[in-house]
């Protein structure tokens, strides 16, 4: 028997989280709903999550040493940087950020946005998300860097500026 919960399809309704931890926020500010769980659905191969009703802002510039990351904008306006390239994304746009390349993203629109993100292979990224969702406020930059480092990522700069 597999370590996965099921070998059946996994349905997650709109606005709901795969593990029924609805309304989670990363560090009390970035909304998150897991749609495909690395630990429960894919044996660590894939993690897909959605940031629904995202306010302005995003994570610090960072590097995934073991994972590729793919973004798909459902609604809103986003700015993303991958390496030395800058992109402006709107609904329907997607962007791939390969492992080992510094990147950051930020919602910059005046109305809430929605972003779907895929991480492959997931490694311990889902644990990273679970841990950051337990903290209700934004920790110090040193604590944020330690969270990233504990899961194979390195913070290499501040979040993208949002005016």
pLDDT, tens only, 137-146: 889 999 999 9
pTM, 2 dp:
0.91
**Is there a domain that residue 83 lies in?**
yes
Residue 16 lies in a domain: no
The pair of structure tokens assigned to 18 is 């795969």
CATH code of the domain covering residue 73: 2.60.120.10
Task: Encode pLDDT of 28-64 as tens digits.
Answer: 888 999 999 999 999 999 999 999 999 999 999 999 9
Residues of the domain holding 143: 24-155
- Whether residue 121 has a cis bond before it, omega within 30° of 0: yes
Would residue 106 count as lying in a domain? yes
Reported as a single tens digit per residue, the pLDDT across 104-124 is 999 999 999 999 999 999 999
CA–CA gap between residue 13 and residue 159 (Å, rounded): 31
- Count of domains observed in the chain: 1
Q: Is 123 left (phi over 0), alpha (psi -120 to 50) or beta?
A: left
């Amino acid at each position: 028997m597999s370590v996965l919960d099921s070998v059946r399809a996994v349905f997650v309704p709109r606005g709901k989280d795969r593990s029924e931890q609805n309304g989670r926020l990363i560090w009390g500010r970035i909304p998150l709903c897991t749609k495909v769980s690395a630990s429960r659905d894919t044996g660590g191969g894939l993690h897909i999550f959605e940031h629904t009703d995202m306010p302005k802002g995003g994570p610090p510039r960072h590097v995934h040493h073991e994972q590729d990351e793919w973004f798909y904008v459902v609604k809103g306006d986003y700015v993303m940087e991958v390496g030395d390239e800058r992109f402006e994304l709107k609904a329907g746009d997607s962007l791939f950020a390969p492992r080992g390349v510094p990147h950051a993203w930020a919602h910059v629109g005046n109305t809430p946005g929605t972003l779907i993100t895929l991480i492959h292979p997931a490694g311990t990224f889902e644990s990273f998300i679970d841990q950051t969702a337990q903290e209700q406020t934004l920790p110090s930059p040193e604590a944020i860097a330690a969270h990233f480092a504990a899961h194979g990522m390195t913070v290499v700069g501040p979040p993208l500026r949002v005016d």
